[in-house]
């Protein structure tokens, strides 16, 4: 019972992180807080990918001394590393857009930006 709960813990954490991220994206009006919610969602997806690739009693996929046991899936690890790099780049770009919007409109409140733009 406890073992099953511990194995399900990463998936429960993913669900909580996704709910927090969706709450930040839907209910916050500050552009920076919305970007933080998007970053939180990226982290939840990365945790989900790592949890999918986990195998109980698996070893790291290093081929110097190959054991005869199960290995952790290396494709998921490579995909997660790629997603982290892409997430950092897009977060930096979106934050720079937020800075440009702040310089132009003087606010990062989405409601005020819509009023000033229209």
CATH code at position 110: 1.10.287.3510
C-alpha separations of 26 from 17, 20, 22, 47, 86 in Å? 14, 10, 6, 22, 23
pTM attached to this predicted model: 0.81
For residue 43, the model assigns a pLDDT of 95
User: In sequence order, which residues have a C-beta less than 8 Å from that of residue 76 and are 6 or more positions away?
Assistant: 49, 50, 52, 53
CB contact at 8 A, 73 and 55: yes
Q: What is the pLDDT of residues 21-70, one digit of tens each?
A: 999 999 999 999 999 999 999 999 999 998 888 777 677 767 666 656 67
Q: Which domain holds residue 16?
A: 2-117
To the nearest whole number, what is the mean pLDDT of the chain? 87
85, two tokens: 């790099």
Q: How many structural domains are present in the chain?
A: 1
CA-wise closest residue to 78 among 67, 68, 86, 69: 86
Type and span of the H or E element at 31: helix 31-53
Q: What is the pLDDT of residues 37-49, one digit of tens each?
A: 999 999 999 999 9
């Amino acid at each position: 019972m406890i073992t099953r709960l511990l194995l399900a813990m990463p998936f429960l954490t993913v669900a909580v992180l996704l709910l927090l991220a969706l709450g930040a994206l839907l209910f916050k009006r500050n552009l920076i807080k919305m970007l933080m919610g998007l970053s939180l969602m990226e982290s939840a997806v990365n945790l989900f990918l790592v949890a999918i690739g986990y195998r109980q009693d698996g070893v790291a996929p290093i081929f110097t001394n190959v054991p005869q046991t199960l290995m952790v899936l290396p494709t998921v690890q490579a995909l997660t590393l790629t997603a982290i790099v892409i997430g950092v780049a897009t977060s930096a770009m979106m934050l720079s857009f937020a800075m440009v919007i702040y310089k132009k409109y003087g606010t990062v409140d989405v409601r005020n930006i819509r009023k000033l733009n229209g």
